[in-house]
Homo-oligomer: A and B are copies of this chain.
Amino acid sequence: MQKEDLVQCHNRIAPYIHRTPVLTSRLIDKMAGAELFFKCENFQRMGAYKMRGATNAILQLSEGQRSKGVVTHSSGNFAQALTLAAKSLGVKAFIVMPTSAPRVKKDAVLEYGGKIIECEPTLEARKAAALKIEAEMGTTFIHPSNSVNVIIGQGTACMELLEEHPDLDFIVVPVGGGGLIAGTALAAHYFGNKCKVIGSEPFAVDDAYRSLQSGKIELNKTTDTIADGLKTNLGDKNFPLIRKYVNSIIRVTEEEIVEAMRLIWERMKIIIEPSSAVAFAAVLNEKDKFKNKKVGIIISGGNVDLKKLPF
């Protein structure tokens, strides 16, 4: 993947996404002892950066492929992203979701015009259901995080951030399936000025931390975290990029995630989801590392259930 791939991707998806603002806060900077730049993908269409990768993946399909629709398995933000991107481009979207998925997530997909295919709540059942649709209908499967076109799309958030603040010392992003951090690391490599990319993870799902240590993809043993977007594992497309370009991973506790989320809600008056708070928690957690540095933080999304807040 070259610099030009990112530039072309950004031009390709620009008409379908928001250019999100970069916010700053003197109070938050004072608390962190660093200069922080929040790239607000919670203000992105459908409320998360996933809109970028989903849009790019569909735009890279041929006319013939598009006519047969796209399919993915996700109960989170990528389901909404693929559905909305498909709708914007006049393409059918099939979303495989476990029967146990919350009503609110299903409603969001239906609202954007997606078709839900229900399956048993296991990873195997989800994969099988998606494969079946692919085989029977010729629909193209788009993976939420382990797809080159998705990774490049997610990298455009970092491109925009570095365009406005080219001299960032660090960019910190949450790590779930690895699509965002791989795209960010690629973009920081091509557009940053010695900008280091750092991942952040809850201790409860620290598969990326352990994978970087062992040199192979490690799996999560539990999924017991409030950061519901970060429970998935890395993949063979994004892990090599993470190994090559990511500086390190910082792990944080559940208490630190909730406290970081509360601080951003209270002080910056923006709604971010727990997964996004993980990145800010990492900066608060290792203050010495970031002291007086310019640090970009990608606020990955703002989709929360207001009836189930941790405060």
Interface residues of A (CB under 8 A from B): 21, 42-43, 47, 262, 265-266, 268-272, 302, 306-307, 309, 311
For A309, give its contact among B262, B272, B306 (CB under 8 Å).
B306
Bound state CA distance, A306 and B309, in angstroms? Answer: 9
Bound state CA distance, A309 and B271, in angstroms? Answer: 14
- Assuming the contacts A21-B21, A311-B307, asked whether A265 and B269 have C-beta atoms less than 8 A apart, the reply is no
Which of chain B's residues have a CB closer than 8 A to the CB of A269?
A: 42-43, 47, 270-272, 302
Cβ-closest chain B residue relative to A23: B43
Bound state CA distance, A311 and B306, in angstroms? Answer: 7
19 A-B residue pairs with Cβ-Cβ distance under 8 Å, sorted by A, are A21-B21, A42-B269, A43-B268, A43-B269, A47-B269, A262-B306, A265-B271, A265-B306, A266-B306, A269-B270, A269-B271, A269-B272, A269-B302, A270-B271, A271-B271, A306-B309, A306-B311, A307-B311, A309-B309
Give the Cβ gap from A261 to chain B, nearest Cβ, in Å: 10
Bound state CA distance, A9 and B21, in angstroms? Answer: 28
Which of chain B's residues have a CB closer than 8 A to the CB of A268?
A: 43
Bound state CA distance, A302 and B309, in angstroms? Answer: 17
Bound state CA distance, A302 and B264, in angstroms? Answer: 12
Which of chain B's residues have a CB closer than 8 A to the CB of A47?
A: 269
Which of chain B's residues have a CB closer than 8 A to the CB of A21?
A: 21
Most chain-B CB neighbours within 10 Å: which of A262, A269, A271? Answer: A269
Which of chain B's residues have a CB closer than 8 A to the CB of A271?
A: 265, 269-271
Which of chain B's residues have a CB closer than 8 A to the CB of A272?
A: 269
Bound state CA distance, A224 and B260, in angstroms? Answer: 34
Which of chain B's residues have a CB closer than 8 A to the CB of A270?
A: 269-271
Give the Cβ gap from A21 to chain B, nearest Cβ, in Å: 7
Bound state CA distance, A268 and B302, in angstroms? Answer: 9
Give the Cβ gap from A27 to chain B, nearest Cβ, in Å: 9
Bound state CA distance, A271 and B261, in angstroms? Answer: 13
Bound state CA distance, A47 and B269, in angstroms? Answer: 8
Beyond A270-B271, A306-B309, A307-B311, 17 additional contacts (C-beta under 8 Å) are A21-B21, A42-B269, A43-B268, A43-B269, A47-B269, A262-B306, A265-B271, A265-B306, A266-B306, A269-B270, A269-B271, A269-B272, A269-B302, A270-B270, A271-B271, A306-B311, A309-B309
Bound state CA distance, A307 and B271, in angstroms? Answer: 15
Bound state CA distance, A262 and B307, in angstroms? Answer: 11
Bound state CA distance, A126 and B284, in angstroms? Answer: 41
Give the Cβ gap from A130 to chain B, nearest Cβ, in Å: 29
Which of chain B's residues have a CB closer than 8 A to the CB of A309?
A: 306, 309
Bound state CA distance, A270 and B270, in angstroms? Answer: 4
